[in-house]
Amino acid sequence: MTASTAPARPAPAAPPALGGVGQSARDSLVVAKRNLLRMSRIPEVVIFGLIQPIMFVVLFSYVFGGSMNVGGSTDSEIYREFLMAGIFAQTVTFATAGAGAGIAEDMHKGLIDRFRSLPMARGAVLTGRTLADLVQTALTLVVLAVVAALVGWRIHEGVPKALAAFGLLLLLGYAFTWVGALIGLSVRTPEAATSGGLVWLFPVTFVSNAFVDSGNMTSWLRHIADWNPFSATVQACRELFGNPGVVQSDAWPMQHPVLASLMYSVVIIVIFRTLAVRKYRNSAG
């Protein structure tokens, strides 16, 4: 009598191989998910990230609003609508410092070295981090828009144009996040990354049309402000929101702000993503 043998089970099918772009996209999403889960477990980081822009809205609206000249008017209600495009843009760009600090912290703790030992696309670590920061920035914008509506800000050109304006803001924020990624890879500590991220952000955001009418600046400073990528996005948002204070300038970015904002953001992404990934690969070697 012979013992019956069970038929052998077929080996599980291997996951389909992905090409370079497909693997990079998959790995980037995995890293992004990891960073989002970590953010959700540290809610105070998100809360403190919301407090700062809300404070800017309240302080600029009620403390400085009555003394700001917008288009020849010092009406505080007009200034509140003028202000919000600048506050939105400042919020998405200041996320750069957090992105740089997060990457520097991962480097400092050795987490990046663990990622390097895995069979994953090299650029996925940075792309995943920037995508996670983009999601957090989008949530911050939603809360900030609600606060802005409570203090009197309104959109006057319809929902589609308003969504387009928020899209430009997120694109600018994503572009500047790559600047933060490069800074985070270039310093030794998270504290240095935070400081380095804020040093260049203050002149970029304040030498612009975000908080004051650039027409009131001296001629050479106005020229810098009008060609500032940050100003182009602010100008585009004011046009798309239908808010007052659209700058009257002969500078090309101010005449075609939506196109200029898109071009600036894409160029910044291409340049600084290339530099950041190259820095990551060199440090990996």
Q: In this predicted model, what pLDDT tens digit does every residue of 191-207 receive, in sequence order?
A: 888 787 788 888 999 89
Question: 15 pLDDT exceeds 60?
Answer: no
Question: 186 pLDDT exceeds 80?
Answer: yes
Task: Return the DSSP state at 184.
Answer: H
pTM of the predicted protein model: 0.83
* Report for 23-37, 74-88, 254-268: range of highest mean pLDDT: 254-268
Task: Return the DSSP state at 227.
Answer: T
Q: In this predicted model, what pLDDT tens digit does every residue of 206-260 receive, in sequence order?
A: 899 888 888 788 889 999 999 999 999 999 999 999 987 777 788 999 999 999 9
Residue 150 pLDDT: 86
Least confidently predicted of 174-183, 262-271, 273-282? 273-282
Q: In this predicted model, what pLDDT tens digit does every residue of 39-92 receive, in sequence order?
A: 777 777 677 777 877 887 878 777 776 666 666 666 677 888 888 899 999 989
N-to-C CA span, the chain: 64
Residue 147 pLDDT: 87
Confidence of residue 267 (pLDDT cuts 50, 70, 90): very high
Question: 27 pLDDT exceeds 90?
Answer: no
* Report for 2-16, 95-109, 264-278: range of highest mean pLDDT: 264-278
9: left (phi over 0), alpha (psi -120 to 50) or beta: beta
The angle subtended at Cα 34 by Cα 31 and Cα 38, nearest 5°, is 140
Mean per-residue pLDDT over the chain, rounded: 81
Residue 214 pLDDT: 83
> Residue 192, CB half-sphere, CA atoms under 13 Å: how many?
12
Percent helix, strand and coil across the chain, each rounded to 5?
A: 75, 0, 25
Q: Any idea where the domains of the chain sit in the sequence?
A: 23-284
